[in-house]
Amino acid sequence: MESLSCLVHQTSHFGATSLSSAYGEEVGGGSLLGGLKEVQEMIDFAAKHNITADIEVIPMDHVNTAMERLTKSDVKYRFVIDVANTLKAI
């Protein structure tokens, strides 16, 4: 069995362990986004220049359906799970 790890954070603070890496089967990925300061600068820049993301908001109980759609490549936008409103409904 293979595993996939994807880190989106400051790479100088990377540190992870997993059972699969003990067997030499881990695949890793990462991003050079930086720390909180750099991420905030990026968000501020996007807001200043009206750069937005196309998203599809889904309730938590639709996560399995979203995963099925991902496997079928039936996704146009990024999924964002609406945790706050889902919890209010409970």
CB 31 within 8 A of CB 10: no
What is the pLDDT at residue 30? 55
Q: Which of 3-12, 14-23, 64-73 has the highest mean pLDDT?
A: 64-73
CB 55 within 8 A of CB 78: yes
Give the start-to-end residue ranges of the domains of the chain: 1-51, 53-90
pLDDT in tens, 34-90: 778 888 998 899 999 999 989 999 999 999 999 999 999 998 888 999 988 877 877
CA distances from 72 to 4, 61, 64, 76 (A): 19, 19, 13, 12
Please say if the pLDDT value at position 13 is more than 60. no
Stretch 6-32: mean pLDDT = 51
pTM above 0.85, yes or no: no
